[in-house]
Amino acid sequence: MVDNPPIKREDLSRLFIEFAGPAEECRFLDCLHSGEVDCGVKDAVKDGLVLNSRYQNYLTILEEVIERERCYR
């Protein structure tokens, strides 16, 4: 296994380039697009602009990233 440097949760959405546009509509600058209100990404998923499967994939990885951050502390 390759020993990647741990991704930070706020860097994760950068790997999902199609989130970049919709993310500008988020109310919060540090929005993680998971449970926040007025989230542009969630709206984009609802409108079919972002694939739901990609969004679910993102949520899964986000959970892992948060879990790992907990372990490193």
Contacts with Zn ion, residue ranges (CB under 5 A): 26, 31, 33, 39, 41
Least distance to Zn ion, CB of residue 25, Å: 8
Q: Do 47 and 35 contact (CB within 8 A), yes or no?
A: no
Task: Return the number of the residue (1 or 26) whose C-beta is nearest Zn ion.
Answer: 26
In whole angstroms, the minimum distance from the beta carbon of 61 to Zn ion comes to 15
Nearer to Zn ion, 39 or 50 (CB): 39
Q: To which residue do tokens 């007025």 refer?
A: 38
How would you classify residue 33: left for phi > 0, otherwise alpha for psi between -120 and 50, otherwise beta?
A: left
